[in-house]
A and B are shown apart, each in its own frame.
Chain A
């Protein structure tokens, strides 16, 4: 029997309660998994289980795909006008807005980020993203193309059909909005797997999806493990597109599975080891603040985190001193406490992984805070060598490495010397140098005198092994449309 998840908060940051339907959300209803098994939901602040959710297995993916295909053929796809799709997306955004605090509290409980960040960034940006794509839904435009007067030649930007979407645990609701926004705007139906570590806000959203009026089967949300449900989605013969955000390692598996089965369209948003370059002439105070934000935002659990910090020799000592001070001032603690900047990492697995990197870097100062939960203090390494694990591999935790450099050519070479290419940042008050450098960095996003700035209307994605395709902005629509060229002969004789 589908159940409910209930929780009550009585904390400085938030007081309230929630109780919502859980289960696999298929065809507008909450159902058990076929195996009747469940997954524990763990609160990373305490390390304790706070509830269970249904576990989907491969068979459930089939059921969801059936529902999504049926909806695509009847109530969705091109059977629902752009204006209608726009209206429903808009309604969903309004419902999210009406439940902003509750969604933020659930996110904070499940992921460990502070309530303040969940409310001010995650949920707010998710709402804005849905609103943004609602506005595109009635603007999906093809072209008429001049060939000759006896022919009518045009393109249609059609929805692909049933799309599979697999999202990560670092910004659960936000990542969900980045995926469903453009997919629904363009008329696709969805089978989405949230991360098994952070399923709660996705499940909470399902009631709102029903309330907004989406026909059953348009959005299906099934919780399960990557190696079962994720694999089943990537290899499914009746899913024509898979979109994944997560690690490069898993991204490869997904692309491989797609290639081996039905060559489904694949977009990937993977890891990064983004360089943050600070020149001598940078505004010191601002560079320090942005750099801190760049690596420690979201406890370092951001794909675009500026984790390799290159500081020009002329300001190196002063920068390191100020940066260290700022890092030390970050208050780590209960995400629902007062004055807290950083909560726990998301899970035991992540905690162990990050601590493993810290050990490998032979650092001191990375002590565990308290005895419960997965707290890690902001950690900075210096005196590193380019081939160290902590310099080359994505840590995905609050761990930054600081590297001294002499000249522009050399730092650009070092910055680009990675298989990743997600983002990069440049700090300099010489705009010429800043633009030159930004243009030469091999990254899908280049920040000049800022870091980690995202907008729903600006594209985001990776060069090289950081990904394929772009999310956000008009560019995201391309991921979810199939272009058909129509040649209507209205006068040519053969």
Chain B
């Protein structure tokens, strides 16, 4: 039988029990054919928290079979919307009950402050589950008028089936809820592959799935390496849909694998290189606050991180001065410390990557206004860094991979047209922010920005009922809101003849 790790939470003098097996059919089990394990690391101390079982391709097969069986027997069309609603609400209640402990585990494995994990990540996740619980009994198709004397035409909004869901490490619990909630609400079953960097809270949440009363096989959790479990799900002939949040590079592989196997439905939520535009009429103090949020929140590890700020030349110096103060005010430290505003980046791999960009920025002649220096202590810390005097051919500006750390490039523009061109000059299109007190300008620019989410005089704040997703190479499909339901729904049209006799030959 698979085991439980007793995880020590430093500084809080407590332990948390974490199941370490693969969660399939409501049980934690060992791998069928592999001895591989994954070490979960605390990025503040660089120490191993515990090790969990790494799922193999065969384990994915087992999980998919369990999900398929549940879909055919206890879930899918075999359960009413009422019951799905009740179970999702129960799950939300349980997460609320255990919010503190889940927050501590999240902080330990991901690095973010406990308070933020509890009040924002987990708070939003609970709301997300409740929001979709409310949709579960409201799935409605249409009846359509063709010929009233002969035909009853209508649509059914059926669940797609077995869904593979692959989530990232930046908001482990929150991303879990964004995926799980709409899929379950419409009646799909799930094989979830959490990130190999942050698998622990997904396993802990799986315990709550059992406690809430979901039938076995409805939700399955298989932590594994992306190249193993993720690839297996994307290519699996019995998975009907794959939903992925992560890098654009991996997103391409997933779409390719889906195309090559069974043309499964694909939704992708990928990277971004989201711009802020600060116009001269903007409230500069507010714009600087939102820009600071945009790059510092979650230590810049956000797909919509506002990593490029373009400021109108007439207010450039003034804005920059305020921005620097705002960014410097952030307290980066251990997530288990109360005073911490943002934690370390999640892993050694990310640490090396982000510092690689910072070094290249310095090397290519960008000016460092804030940060840019490594710490001498343990922990994968990257202090917020601001570059100015950037040019379009610099790696930090040009390269199509997002830095995914608290590294901001600040540039200048003269006219609105120029600003829009600069903002849109990217193959990404996830988020964008504009700051202006000229309403007509807000309308023009928000319409012109090629992004799935545009914030006007704000940044980064989302609502569970407002859709979110990318244009261009930032993604396919939308999460949140009623739109997410479409990603997990398969429309069937039924033409029911009750009055037409066919004369054959015609």
Contacts and interface: CB of A to CB of B under 8 A. Distances in A.
Contacts of A136: 134, 138
A132 B82 CA distance: 8
A135 B443 contact: no
Interface string B471-506: 000000000001000000000000010110000000
Interface string A264-299: 000000000000000000000000000000000000
B137 A456 contact: yes
B444 interface: yes
A128 interface: yes
A128 B498 contact: no
Interface string B82-99: 100110010000000000
A435 B133 CA distance: 33
A90 B92 CA distance: 12
B435 interface: no
Contact of A490 (B148, B439, B496): B439
Given A432-B499, A490-B444, A86 B482 contact: no
B85 A135 contact: yes
Contacts of A128: 82
Contacts of A490: 439-440, 442-444
A397 B81 CA distance: 35
Contact of B134 (A139, A149, A435): A139
A83 interface: yes
A49 interface: no
Interface in B61-91: 81-82, 85-86, 89
Interface string A459-491: 000000000000000100000000000001011
A150 B443 contact: yes
B137 A135 contact: yes
A83 B127 contact: yes
Nearest to A152: B443
Contact of A141 (B86, B127, B482): B482
Interface in B98-143: 127, 130-131, 133-138, 140
B138 A457 contact: yes
A469 B38 CA distance: 60
B447 interface: yes
B137 A457 contact: yes
B137 A86 contact: no
Contacts of A204: none
Q: Is the interface of A mostly helix, strand, loop or mixed?
A: helix
A387 B498 CA distance: 34
Given A135-B85, A491-B440, A491-B444, A86 B498 contact: no
B443 A457 contact: no
Interface string A380-420: 00000000000000000000000000000000000000000
Q: Is the interface of B mostly helix, strand, loop or mixed?
A: helix
Contacts of B82: 128, 131
A138 interface: yes
B104 to A, nearest CB: 25
B5 interface: no
B152 interface: yes
A491 B137 CA distance: 42
Contact of B152 (A132, A150, A435, A488): A435
Contacts of B86: 131
Nearest to A141: B482
B440 A86 contact: no
A439 B443 CA distance: 48
A90 B89 contact: yes
Given A86-B130, A138-B465, A435 B498 contact: yes
Contacts of A432: 498-499
B333 to A, nearest CB: 32
Given A83-B127, A138-B465, A457-B81, A132 B499 contact: no
B99 to A, nearest CB: 16
Given A432-B498, A435-B152, A490-B440, A138 B447 contact: no
A134 B134 contact: yes
B414 to A, nearest CB: 22
B499 A139 contact: no
A456 B140 CA distance: 13
A491 B86 CA distance: 48
A454 interface: no
B136 to A, nearest CB: 8
Given A138-B465, A141-B482, A436 B498 contact: yes
Contacts of B131: 83, 138-139
A431 interface: yes
Interface string B306-333: 0000000000000000000000000000
A448 B455 CA distance: 51
Contacts of A474: 138, 140
Contacts of B138: 132, 135-136, 139, 457, 474
Contacts of A135: 85, 133-138
Interface of B: 81-82, 85-86, 89, 127, 130-131, 133-138, 140, 148-149, 152, 439-440, 442-444, 447, 464-465, 482, 496, 498-499
Interface of A: 82-83, 86-87, 90, 128, 131-132, 134-139, 141, 149-150, 152, 431-432, 435-436, 439, 456-457, 474, 488, 490-491
Given A137-B134, A457-B81, 12 more contacts: A83-B131, A86-B130, A132-B137, A134-B134, A135-B133, A135-B134, A139-B138, A436-B499, A457-B140, A474-B140, A490-B444, A491-B440
